[in-house]
Amino acid sequence: MIDPVRTVAFDVLRAIDDRDAYVNLILPGMLRERGIEGRDAAFATELTNGTLRRRGTYDAIINLAVSKGIATVDPPVLDVLRLGAHQILSMRVPSHAAVSTCVDLVRSSVGHKPVAFTNAVLRKISQGDLDSWLARATRGKSKIEALSIVHSHPVWIIEALNEALGGDWAETEKLLAAQNESPKVTLVARPGLCEPEELPGEPGRLSPYARYLDAGDPGAIPAIVEGRAGVQDEASQLVAIGLAESPIEGHDSRWLDLCAGPGGKAALLGAIAAQRGAELVANEVQPHRARLVEQSLRKLPNTTVTIFDGREGPWELESFDRILVDAPCTGLGALRRRPESRWRRLPSDLDQLVPLQTALLARALELVRPGGVVCYATCSPHLAETRAVVDAVLAGRDDVSAAAPVNWWPHIHGTDAMFSIILTKTV
């Protein structure tokens, strides 16, 4: 019997592997297309995201359960084994149900040949609990290798996060654990368009515009459908608020979001700007992301969307009062929401990203007027993308003053891990 809920989870995992799809983009649409709602949608979401978050853990366990090792397993079958391991070891699914539904899934989606193999491996995994399997998988490993297995993060990411936390391993372990928890869906009421009380859920802890959604599809909330509200992590909201609230000298009428896609921060900035009679230029280099920005800003007549490389756009020097540089980054701070990123990103990605981040920040400082402010932000705490970029751009300059940087953390603030710093161009 084909289980449509587990089939969705399997199809999402295959799309991620085969097409480099993003779970937060593909899963909601697939659930809607197949008419999966309520508790079934919640189960599919946890099964998919949980399997992706704990993939490193389950791969280590599957490697022990497969006689010839995990490298011999075909990718589609391996995805089914991962889904089964998550149900057996981390969800309240009876082992016999997890095994039988995975056997049915591999039969219907892959074929008859791997059925017996799938059944044998998952039955072997069901003979132990998560702690006993972890004890076996980490035996003889170094501290960081063991952390990689237990918390399901690549070693290079653990090293980077530990460095960002000042070498505090206790804090690092708390962060790793927090990044494996399901994040709350956080809504944002765009000021002037929507009051927070109009949105369902509890008030946010950090942003005055935030609400925590308890359950349900945010895409079905009228204010979100109408573009008066959105889904946005509180730290992301605070980046936009921090830029908007930074004191500046002189006029305050022209704002720029240099890297606006997909549009969440731009929409909040634009709403705040509208209340002050200011205009926002929201720039995005990729046309398909620029269309997402336009969709987010459709209720704000004080905004203009442009499509340029932020390093080369045709804006006049020193013509903006406030500029946001929400730079493209590794996204290591959003691993709760984008669990596939931890398996997709590589240390070599920094070779392309850091020069881009540096150039974008340098360009923003050319475009902001004396007395104006630039906010540099990344959804990554990696020091190479945060402090090192700021230090490189400010080296040798005496016309910019920097406020103390701010970091938000999942294990401390319940948000994504974000970095933000306000730079003021002196008069």
pLDDT means over runs of 10, the chain (427 residues): 91 94 92 92 95 98 95 97 98 95 96 96 97 98 98 98 98 97 94 97 97 88 97 98 96 98 97 98 97 97 98 97 98 94 96 98 98 98 98 96 98 98 95
Going from the C-alpha of 312 to that of each of 288, 329, 358, 423, the distances in angstroms are 19, 19, 14, 21
Instruction: Show Cβ contacts of residue 287 under 8 Å, excluding neighbours closer than 6 positions.
Output: 307
Going from the C-alpha of 392 to that of each of 88, 264, 357, 424, the distances in angstroms are 49, 28, 11, 16
Nearest one of 311, 223, 300, 295 to 269, comparing CA atoms? 300
Catalytic-residue membership of 379: yes
Domain with CATH 1.10.940.10 in the chain: 4-140
Strand partners, 424: 373, 401
Task: For residue 315, give the DSSP letter.
Answer: P
List the catalytic residue out of 259, 329, 375, 379: 379
Nearest one of 324, 182, 186, 188 to 258, comparing CA atoms? 324
For domain 233-425, give the fold. Answer: Rossmann fold (3.40.50)
Q: What is the DSSP string of 91-131?
A: SS--HHHHHHHHHHHHHHHT-STTHHHHHHHHHHHTTS-HH
CATH number of 4-140, picked from 1.10.357.10, 3.40.50.720, 1.10.10.10, 1.10.940.10: 1.10.940.10
Q: Cα–Cα distance between 72 and 85 in angstroms, integer?
A: 18
Which residue is it, tokens 């459908």?
A: 225
Distance of CA 213 to the CA centre of its chain: 17
Model pTM score: 0.94
pLDDT reported for residue 122: 98
pLDDT reported for residue 223: 97
pLDDT reported for residue 178: 97
Domain with CATH 3.40.50.150 in the chain: 233-425
pLDDT reported for residue 154: 98
Nearest one of 41, 339, 38 to 181, comparing CA atoms? 339
Q: Cα–Cα distance between 360 and 313 in angstroms, integer?
A: 11
Q: Cα–Cα distance between 251 and 96 in angstroms, integer?
A: 68
Nearest one of 97, 108, 58, 60 to 79, comparing CA atoms? 58
pLDDT reported for residue 1: 66
Locate 238 and state its tokens.
């605070």
Going from the C-alpha of 240 to that of each of 222, 233, 246, the distances in angstroms are 24, 11, 10
Which residue is it, tokens 């935030």?
A: 210
